[in-house]
């Protein structure tokens, strides 16, 4: 448990950041799910549009420290390959 005023403040800040990061991660997962659903439906146009919307969200997550750069790049690459394979 935090004892000093500084450690109490850092604990409060960590809780706030945790909420923000959780919301951001959830938002990114929603974008990814839309791509997955379009792929499952076999609709290449919709999947391409969804991927186009998801890519900047994923990269924004990288700049905000929610995801590692390589993780986001890998996800984009694999989704792009699957979208391309539908065609």
pLDDT digits (tens, 9 = 90+) for 66-87: 999 999 999 999 999 999 999 8
- Domains of the chain by residue range: 5-86
Percent of the chain with pLDDT over 90: 97
- Angstrom distance (rounded) from CA 84 to CA 39: 10
- Angstrom distance (rounded) from CA 80 to CA 20: 28
Instruction: Check residue 2 and give its pLDDT.
Output: 83
Instruction: Look at residues 70, 60, 72 and name the one whose alpha carbon lies nearest to residue 21.
Output: 60
User: Which fold, 5-86?
Assistant: Methane Monooxygenase Hydroxylase; Chain G, domain 1 (1.20.58)
């Amino acid at each position: 448990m935090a004892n000093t005023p500084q450690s109490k403040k850092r604990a409060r800040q960590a809780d706030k950041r945790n909420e923000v990061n959780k919301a951001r991660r959830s938002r990114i997962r929603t974008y990814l799910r839309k791509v997955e659903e379009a792929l499952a439906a076999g609709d290449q146009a919709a999947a391409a549009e969804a991927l186009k919307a998801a890519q900047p969200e994923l990269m924004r997550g990288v700049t905000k420290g929610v995801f590692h750069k390589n993780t986001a790049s890998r996800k984009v690459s694999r989704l792009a390959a699957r979208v391309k394979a539908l065609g």
